[in-house]
């Protein structure tokens, strides 16, 4: 795990953010983000906060606007690689209630952005709603899942989304029906600039036995190919013609390493932290793979993992 680079911490900015934050929200300066990622790598946020209400989030955004501070949203950190040089401005995580609420109603689940996708799958099963089984093994939140249009086993999140609730950078809240939101393979462009506050997901009534059986089958399939070591999930988006993992395998790069980062022997599209990996190690390994894919196969691999802190979020 990287100790990260200490960021300059301004006391008056901290005071401004603390004043803006709702009562129980602590603003933490110089906060090690590696701890909040599944890869356990990367640097520090200048400031970190977990607001406890939409009003609290909106007030923090207003304070950031006043000072021209950038805002980054962190979900469960399962596809999130903060640069070793750190992430400027304020990083917010919607991991406190009410953002983690999952409220059932008929064939719908109203989910906060901070709800874990695996908890949504479990609640759907409890309510005997089919269609969300594929969320059981994706280790992220609904907010991160919407941003990434997370998917597995032939399904993707926006297949089951009815409406999304957003906050824009000015703190204004609005809702949109899913069918009017542009989505792509592992992406929802609108969420490059807006914050997802939550979503209404819709399922289809089914029996508990059928839902349980599908979830068990998905889990079996996942764990037969996915490494258990610390990772950020798939590093690259699949390119046309060949899955990225197969390409990495064909290039003979399974087991290749840079410092503490290594291409998984089990799955070529996973880079694992075998201990002490820095974001720099991971980025060097990504660079090596991309270069080989381009020179040997003419394929320009795009990263799925979100590289946070630099200009290039989709290297």
Ligand X SMILES: Cc1cc2nc3c(=O)[nH]c(=O)nc-3n(C[C@H](O)[C@H](O)[C@H](O)COP(=O)(O)OP(=O)(O)OC[C@H]3O[C@@H](n4cnc5c(N)ncnc54)[C@H](O)[C@@H]3O)c2cc1C
Residues in touch with ligand X (CB under 6 A): 38, 72-80, 94, 113, 138-141, 143-145, 147-148, 150-152, 191, 195-196, 226, 231-233, 306
The distance of closest approach from Cβ of residue 176 to ligand X in the complex, given in angstroms and rounded to an integer, is 14
Rg of the chain, C-alpha, whole Å: 20
User: For residues 37, 305, 160 and 174, what is the CA-based torsion angle, rounded to 10 degrees?
Assistant: 80
Of 83, 90, 64, whose CA–CA distance to 9 is shortest? Answer: 90
Phi and psi angles of residue 184, each rounded to the nearest 5 degrees, phi first: -140, 180
User: Which residue number, 45 or 148, has a Cβ lying nearer to ligand X?
Assistant: 148
User: Which residue number, 134 or 211, has a Cβ lying nearer to ligand X?
Assistant: 134
The answer to whether 135 and 151 have CB atoms below 8 angstroms apart is no
The distance of closest approach from Cβ of residue 65 to ligand X in the complex, given in angstroms and rounded to an integer, is 17
User: Which residue number, 129 or 148, has a Cβ lying nearer to ligand X?
Assistant: 148
User: Which residue number, 74 or 161, has a Cβ lying nearer to ligand X?
Assistant: 74
The distance of closest approach from Cβ of residue 207 to ligand X in the complex, given in angstroms and rounded to an integer, is 25
Peptide bond before 294: cis, by omega within 30 degrees of 0? no
Tokens of 110: 């109203």
User: Which residue number, 14 or 186, has a Cβ lying nearer to ligand X?
Assistant: 186
User: Which residue number, 21 or 111, has a Cβ lying nearer to ligand X?
Assistant: 111
Q: What is the rounded distance in angstroms from the CA atom of residue 206 to the CA atom of residue 124?
A: 10
Beta bridge partners of 176: 164
Q: What is the rounded distance in angstroms from the CA atom of residue 55 to the CA atom of residue 46?
A: 22
The distance of closest approach from Cβ of residue 73 to ligand X in the complex, given in angstroms and rounded to an integer, is 4
The distance of closest approach from Cβ of residue 222 to ligand X in the complex, given in angstroms and rounded to an integer, is 7
Kindly list the distances between the CA atom of residue 102 and the CA atoms of 17, 29, 56, 122, 205, in Å, as whole numbers in the listed order. 29, 30, 20, 11, 18
The distance of closest approach from Cβ of residue 198 to ligand X in the complex, given in angstroms and rounded to an integer, is 8
């Amino acid at each position: 795990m990287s100790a990260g680079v200490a960021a300059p911490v301004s006391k008056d900015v901290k005071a401004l953010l603390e004043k803006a934050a709702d009562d129980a929200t602590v603003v933490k300066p110089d906060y090690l983000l590696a701890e909040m990622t599944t890869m356990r790598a990367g640097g520090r946020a200048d400031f970190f906060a977990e607001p406890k209400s939409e009003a609290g989030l909106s007030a923090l955004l207003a304070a950031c606007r006043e000072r021209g501070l950038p805002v980054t949203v962190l979900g469960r950190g399962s596809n999130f690689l903060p640069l070793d040089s750190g992430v400027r401005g304020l990083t917010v995580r919607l991991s406190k209630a009410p953002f983690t609420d999952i409220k059932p109603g008929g064939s719908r689940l109203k989910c906060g952005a901070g709800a874990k996708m695996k908890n949504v799958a479990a609640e759907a099963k409890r309510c005997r709603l089919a269609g969300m089984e594929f969320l059981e093994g994706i280790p992220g939140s609904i907010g991160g899942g919407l941003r990434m249009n997370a998917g597995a086993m032939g399904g993707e999140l926006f297949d089951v989304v009815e409406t999304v609730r957003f906050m824009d950078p000015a703190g204004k809240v609005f809702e949109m029906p899913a069918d009017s939101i542009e989505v792509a393979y592992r992406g929802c462009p609108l969420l490059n600039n807006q914050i997802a506050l939550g979503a209404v997901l819709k399922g289809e009534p089914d029996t508990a036995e059928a839902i349980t059986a599908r979830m068990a089958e998905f889990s079996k399939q996942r764990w037969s190919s996915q490494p258990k070591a610390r990772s950020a999930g798939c590093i690259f988006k699949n390119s046309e013609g060949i899955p990225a993992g197969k390409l990495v395998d064909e290039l003979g790069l399974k087991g290749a390493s840079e410092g503490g980062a290594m291409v998984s022997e089990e799955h070529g599209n996973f880079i694992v932290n075998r201990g002490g990996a820095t974001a720099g190690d991971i980025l060097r390994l990504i660079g090596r793979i991309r270069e080989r894919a381009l020179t040997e196969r003419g394929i320009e691999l795009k990263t799925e993992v979100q590289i946070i802190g630099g200009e290039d979020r989709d290297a």
